[in-house]
């Protein structure tokens, strides 16, 4: 297993959490983690691993931080 930190933002926090450590099997993709959290794929706007944008197929490594955002805008 790999231990990673998952952070959620905006309405994705509702009924879930702000930040939590999770143990995932090696080779688990970002898309799979999103699914495990019960988040609809099309609610997700941006994902970052260690502050870098990543694709749904990216695989977080031991100790990584995965941040999941809905589509947001502003400026």
Partner 1 sequence: MSDRIFRVNMSDLSVKLEECPSQWAGLGGRGLTSSIVASEVDPCCHALGPSNKLVFAPGLLSGTVAANSGRLSCGAKSPLTGTIKESNAGGTAAQMLARLGCKALVIEGAPAGDRWYSLRVTPDGVIIDTEEELVGRGNYAVAESVRQRLGEKYGVISIGPAGEMKMAVANISVKDPDGRLRSHGRGGLGAVMGSKGVKFIAIEPTDNTISIADPERFSRASRAFAQALAKHPVTEGLASYGTDILVNIVNEAGALPARNFTLGQFEGHDSISGETMHERIKERGGKVRHGCHKGCVIQCSQVYNDKQGRYLTSGFEYESIWAMGADCCVDDLDIIAEADHLMDDIGIDTIETSVAIGVAMEAGILDFGDGREALRILREEVAKGTPFGRIIGGGAAVTGKAFGVTRVPVVKNQAIPAYDPRAVKGIGITYATSTMGADHTAGYTIATNILNCGGHVDPLSKEGQVELSRNLQIATAAVDSTGMCIFTAFAILDDETCLPALVDMINARFGTDLAAEDVTSLGARILKTEHDFNMRAGFTAADDRLPEFFALEELPPHNVKWDFTQDEIDSFWDF
Which residues of the shown chain bind partner 1 in the complex (CB under 8 A)? 7, 9-11, 13, 43, 45-46, 48, 51-53, 67, 69-75
Instruction: Give the shortest CB-65-to-partner 1 separation in angstroms.
Output: 9
Q: Which is nearer to partner 1, 1 or 46 (CB)?
A: 46
72: nearest Cα among 44, 42, 38: 44
Q: CA gyration radius for the chain?
A: 11
Q: Which is nearer to partner 1, 36 or 55 (CB)?
A: 55
């Amino acid at each position: 297993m790999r231990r990673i930190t998952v952070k959620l933002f905006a309405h994705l926090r509702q009924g879930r959490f702000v930040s939590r450590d999770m143990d995932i099997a090696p080779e688990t993709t970002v898309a799979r983690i999103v699914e495990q959290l019960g988040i609809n794929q099309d609610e997700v706007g941006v994902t970052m691993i260690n502050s870098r944008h990543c694709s749904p197929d990216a695989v977080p490594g031991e100790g990584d931080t995965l941040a999941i955002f809905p589509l947001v805008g502003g400026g």
